[in-house]
Structure 1
């Protein structure tokens, strides 16, 4: 259903916002918009995923003077991840299921120009793993792209909200759902898939932006013609992967229900013509049932943007035993590594290791723990790339239903999908993290299409319980030196930091907390400069833009996501929500459900 609240003035406002932009080439158009810091034209800020803005009206000296200037209720509860897009005078805002899209006039404090609400079967809700979240919209060629929960990719006319085309990206009947944000590169829209807890076969898909026709699809597991791999020319740490590598480390046909979903973020290097992303956990969570390395789950992929062919891969957690999805963002920056400037990729994995890699070749340069509590592996072997697993914290216990205790991090990782930011001013990465550990007990489970295929019971608790450091905090916000693999400073937070960070040229870094605070932090020292408590938990990503010469900060608040699934879905058992409910019970003393955009300025 499309409901229009459009008047002549509204149409004029959007037309002005898009005026002067060439529609002939989506890549040139988006590049042109992204080059103007007044806009925020993609969820990750730029193709490199830095989430950095050159705006500096708000700076370390005056951030203390920030104040909320207007708010907007989305009319939807549950978890609000992602953030708005800003193009000229227009903001485009999304919600979790039912996945409403709003076009809003920034000249009038967000007056609604049009609203689109798709018709979806609510039966998709129980198939969504960890709340009904949606990580945001994409823009290109005058279209707004929405990835619905039921996996439908919809192209909306940015001026009117009318549907230009739509295509189905998956099948909820098999457990496939849509939570990831689309991304536009060149003449294509790229999209991932969710459903690793239902035994689906993960994939990334490229659709032609003009009409939604399929350009290519690359699976995470399977034969070479499905994974789009060349046995001799696709490499893993410099070595050819070999024939049908996506099948070779699975028992029988397990690769067909092997997981490796792609619900995280994409980045793109225009010079190399490569797209980078990570794949998720293998199915089932019981490692005994799927012997082998389970390639290519838990893997960083570098694929050719035009053909989808994989240039290189790196599997971070072979034969995953802990649900350490590898979907977190890849941040592309050039750095000095031991006196040599390298084109690097920086990735903060769920498994607790921060990786710095050569994004041209896939060479592993740095791999260090970004939370000292991490104990499931002692270190990463830099020659083989394999984590050195500590037997005490293995969950693969020879087929027995053994409860492995005090494993760090918990399944939700030292960092989940909440994206980090990078500042070229400080050369530091700003990382929202979880400081959470777990007990993990696998059990036998049978695969049935469309039914949960988990096979483990978890409970989670603060990392201080294991480390004995006297703390009871569930999160930290850290500054990270990716060339050295070192934490420069760390801010403890009572709960996991589940929001995406933002770095600015004003020497300020922003993030949100599960209690609902927006915080402004000095980028060099970690000193808190400002905080404001929004109406609900912040699991959205902080965004900045400029309108009529004034800089604004915006963030969605709305309790939910994996950390808030107990409140969002009404779960009460300590092991409910795949183990998260018990760890975050006290959060109810600080916040409640909501769905609000809060906008700040000086």
Structure 2
């Protein structure tokens, strides 16, 4: 693509932009700890609350304050949001939304159930999950499974506007939570296992008109990369940075979906997010014309974009030429004034699916720290952080665990982490009190056998058989850890029988909360990980802990409702060990501890 073409595309994108203004309403609501106004607490995704009424000395006394049944028997990810006297609850498909009045015995103020074609369930790879609603401009934003983004009047639940963001007939679906940034609501797309071309899209809060759309892979005018100004590892990416790393036009079905979380830095006017796997899972089908690995940019990358235009400031590919399905969609947590090797940085911390914990300068996109946050990780030995090296920024792959070098139709055994990563989308939390990250993790290995697959729109485009199990010498599938992002070290680690698929919450009371797949809601001491509280909820927990106050009393809550990728066997009634993209066999014993059922459980002190 020529510079002139990019300039025309950029001018077009800006022509449709609305006047930018700071969304002070969302910012102010999020800064008030009495609310839980965003899915991850704030724009920086710290999942930290200043509330301290519940603390290390009294958390053991928590009792169930109230519950709410959602009436849906699939996996419940995300959390409610709380604004003033109203709590907004969402469900998996059919994506019903409830508004409850906290001031009137939690009565239902309104409910909204979208009308969707149930055939969309058949193209949702890893359960019918939805990661939550967003608030802004007096509206609740719901992103439906069928990719409809709908704006609802927050007081009445009436539709204000709705738009379609994708096509389920091509395998495109909606599972992620929208993010409101300034005068826009931003959503991604799911469907990496169906050969879609991933994208992030911004819509006007006012009327739903599209402001910009940025693909993850493809020509510069589609991915909104400026060859001279967009950088990677401190250098301009150059012309055709994506398409030249794909064979022919494979990028058109190249994946790079955006189904995770999106952070926003108002100071820099940048939104940060990650992209998913390249399609297919069989790396041999994505090799270069000479039969050698080729990066497939910008799949498996962190991208920083201007929120007004969508144009990328920088990009950093975490796992070039993916051979293991290590989607880079996990949350990017933003922390200011971090001193590393004598220099102060505003950083982005990513506990990535590939098993490495990255600390990145968020102005430049340059990695400062990259270390394993599970010692069992073996697919790569380290990430090269020497700027003078020819492999700068890249992981050093161990040939023993290369599914490409071992070849298609060969079963590469004992790879760590498994395809669901050392951490999937379940968000970590950061405490400014301890300056540590609290991370729910998967401690899972896999066998991975690629095979040839043919693309057909709306049909699975995977090309690999996967089996999952504990790493060699281990008897458990999860850990909950405290992570030092400056030195790249685990401070403490607590074993869990199954993967911790629940998002963490840390509070000024010195407590971290999370849930387990068996259904336990737990509280640990931030300092040493000692368990302070546990309660068995009605079903396994894959939702994210949250907190709020009402009438000067602090509450903490979580969804239960087993499912998601780890719980897909239970959620979808699967029993073949390799089904659910390999998860069914790995979590077969989960059915001995829990069963289906969607509910919200909220706790308080007596």
Normalising by structure 1, report the TM-score.
0.95
Matched, 1:428 2:436: yes
Q: How far, CA to CA, are the matches of 2:28 and 2:495 in structure 1? A: 39
SS of 2:23's equivalent in the other structure is helix
Matched, 1:540 2:543: yes
Give the total of aligned pairs.
Answer: 574
User: What is the Cα deviation at residue 109 of structure 1?
Assistant: 3.6
SS of 2:193's equivalent in the other structure is helix
Give the equivalent residue in structure 2 for 1:299: 301
Matched, 1:394 2:397: no
User: What is the Cα deviation at residue 35 of structure 1?
Assistant: 1.4
Give the equivalent residue in structure 1 for 2:415: 407
SS of 2:559's equivalent in the other structure is strand
User: What is the Cα deviation at residue 539 of structure 1?
Assistant: 0.2
Matched, 1:327 2:329: yes
Gaps of 5+ in 2: 1-19, 288-293, 387-391
Matched, 1:554 2:562: no
Give the equivalent residue in structure 1 for 2:424: 416
Q: How far, CA to CA, are the matches of 2:162 and 2:242 in structure 1? A: 30
Q: How far, CA to CA, are the matches of 1:205 and 1:376 in structure 2? A: 33
Greater shift, 64-73 or 393-402, is seen at: 393-402
Matched, 1:459 2:455: no
Q: How far, CA to CA, are the matches of 1:477 and 1:98 in structure 2? A: 31
Give the equivalent residue in structure 2 for 1:212: 208
Q: How far, CA to CA, are the matches of 1:585 and 1:29 in structure 2? A: 46
1:26–1:141: 8 Å Cα contact kept in structure 2?
no
Q: How far, CA to CA, are the matches of 2:122 and 2:480 in structure 1? A: 32
Matched, 1:150 2:153: no
After TM superposition, the structure 1 = structure 2 runs for residues 545-584 of structure 1, keeping only pairs within 5 Å, are 545-584=548-587
User: What is the Cα deviation at residue 400 of structure 1?
Assistant: 3.4
Give the one of 193, 198, 201 matched to 1:197: 193
Gaps of 5+ in 1: 1-23
Q: How far, CA to CA, are the matches of 1:531 and 1:478 in structure 2? A: 17
**Residues 410-439 of structure 1, C-alpha deviation per residue, up to 9 Å, x if partnerless?**
000000000000000000000000000000
SS of 1:34's equivalent in the other structure is helix
Give the equivalent residue in structure 1 for 2:15: none
After TM superposition, the structure 1 = structure 2 runs for residues 10-409 of structure 1, keeping only pairs within 5 Å, are 27-291=23-287, 292-334=294-336, 335-383=338-386, 384-397=392-405, 399-409=407-417
Give the equivalent residue in structure 2 for 1:17: none
Q: How far, CA to CA, are the matches of 1:139 and 1:339 in structure 2? A: 40
Give the equivalent residue in structure 1 for 2:16: none
Q: How far, CA to CA, are the matches of 1:435 and 1:120 in structure 2? A: 36
2:282–2:408: 8 Å Cα contact kept in structure 1?
no
Q: How far, CA to CA, are the matches of 1:554 and 1:109 in structure 2? A: 16
User: What is the Cα deviation at residue 398 of structure 1?
Assistant: 6.5
Give the equivalent residue in structure 1 for 2:9: none
Q: How far, CA to CA, are the matches of 2:21 and 2:384 in structure 1? A: 44
**Residues 317-376 of structure 1, C-alpha deviation per residue, up to 9 Å, x if partnerless?**
000000000000000002121232210000011100000000001111000000000000
**Residues 4-62 of structure 1, C-alpha deviation per residue, up to 9 Å, x if partnerless?**
xxxxxxxxxxxxxxxxxxxx967111011111100011101000000000000000111
Q: How far, CA to CA, are the matches of 2:470 and 2:372 in structure 1? A: 17
Normalising by structure 2, report the TM-score.
0.94
Q: How far, CA to CA, are the matches of 2:541 and 2:106 in structure 1? A: 20
Matched, 1:489 2:492: yes
Q: How far, CA to CA, are the matches of 1:214 and 1:398 in structure 2? A: 45
Q: How far, CA to CA, are the matches of 1:25 and 1:595 in structure 2? A: 38
Q: How far, CA to CA, are the matches of 1:66 and 1:400 in structure 2? A: 53
Q: How far, CA to CA, are the matches of 1:351 and 1:472 in structure 2? A: 21
**Residues 275-294 of structure 1, C-alpha deviation per residue, up to 9 Å, x if partnerless?**
00000000000000002101
Q: How far, CA to CA, are the matches of 1:399 and 1:68 in structure 2? A: 54
2:255–2:276: 8 Å Cα contact kept in structure 1?
yes
Q: How far, CA to CA, are the matches of 2:444 and 2:408 in structure 1? A: 25
SS of 1:401's equivalent in the other structure is coil
Q: How far, CA to CA, are the matches of 1:75 and 1:481 in structure 2? A: 40
Give the equivalent residue in structure 1 for 2:5: none
SS of 2:333's equivalent in the other structure is strand
Q: 1:415 to 1:398 in 2, by over 3 A?
A: closer
Q: How far, CA to CA, are the matches of 1:32 and 1:453 in structure 2? A: 44
Q: 1:401 to 1:103 in 2, by over 3 A?
A: same
1:26–1:140: 8 Å Cα contact kept in structure 2?
no
SS of 1:33's equivalent in the other structure is helix
- Measured on the aligned residues, the alpha-carbon RMSD in Å equals 0.9
Give the one of 473, 476, 487 matched to 1:473: 476
SS of 2:571's equivalent in the other structure is helix
Q: How far, CA to CA, are the matches of 1:275 and 1:156 in structure 2? A: 24
Q: How far, CA to CA, are the matches of 1:556 and 1:157 in structure 2? A: 24
User: What is the Cα deviation at residue 232 of structure 1?
Assistant: 1.0
Q: How far, CA to CA, are the matches of 2:105 and 2:399 in structure 1? A: 57
Q: How far, CA to CA, are the matches of 1:117 and 1:293 in structure 2? A: 42
Q: How far, CA to CA, are the matches of 1:311 and 1:379 in structure 2? A: 26
1:201–1:260: 8 Å Cα contact kept in structure 2?
yes
